[in-house]
Amino acid sequence: MPKNPKLSTRNAMAAAFSLAFAGLAATAVLSHPTMVSAAADPAPNTVAYYTDKVQPILKENCYRCHGGENHRGGLQIDTKAGLLKGGRDGAVLVPGSPEKSLLISLIRHEGPADDPMPMPPKGKLSDADIATVTAWVKAGAIMPE
């Protein structure tokens, strides 16, 4: 038994509190990745911009319908060849011209209401993600083979 039970309770509470606080701080940093990576952001006209910033957005939101074996709308998004070939309605990317790129108008929900419908079909990408993909197309849609 500790000599002073009151003191050890207080220590335990202090420890629990600082653990909880460390957890909160870690969550804050993790949920704002830009806070930690802002200094090292690659430029939009680099392969690194595609692999670090654009591809994760496509992977999370598009690959399940446009990747691997899945070519909804005739479009495969996970390879350069597939992206440049386009889908059933033709080209989806015009490197350098986001305003002429079907892929961009669909993710901005500025395309047709139907056929092809806005992408992804349910929900909408965040404004930040849309800006990232748009900047990439504007800078020439650079990606690895």
- The contact set with ligand HEC (CB under 6 A) reads 61-62, 64-66, 72-75, 86-89, 92, 102-103, 106-107, 115-117, 119-121, 125
Nearest distance from C-beta of residue 20 to ligand HEC, angstroms: 37
Nearest distance from C-beta of residue 31 to ligand HEC, angstroms: 21
Q: Which residues of 19-30 are buried (b: 16+ CB within 10 A; e: fewer)?
A: eeeeeeeeeeee
One-letter amino acid at 126 equals: S
From the centroid of its chain, how far is CA 100? 22
Which one, 92 or 141, has the nearer CB to ligand HEC?
Answer: 92
Which one, 65 or 139, has the nearer CB to ligand HEC?
Answer: 65
The CA distance from 133 to 98, in Å, is: 9
Read out DSSP for 82-137?
Answer: HHHH-BTTB----TT-GGG-HHHHHHTT-S-SSSSPPSSSSS---HHHHHHHHHHH
Nearest distance from C-beta of residue 56 to ligand HEC, angstroms: 12
Which one, 114 or 145, has the nearer CB to ligand HEC?
Answer: 114
Nearest distance from C-beta of residue 134 to ligand HEC, angstroms: 12
Which one, 10 or 94, has the nearer CB to ligand HEC?
Answer: 94
Give residue number: closest CB to ligand HEC: 87
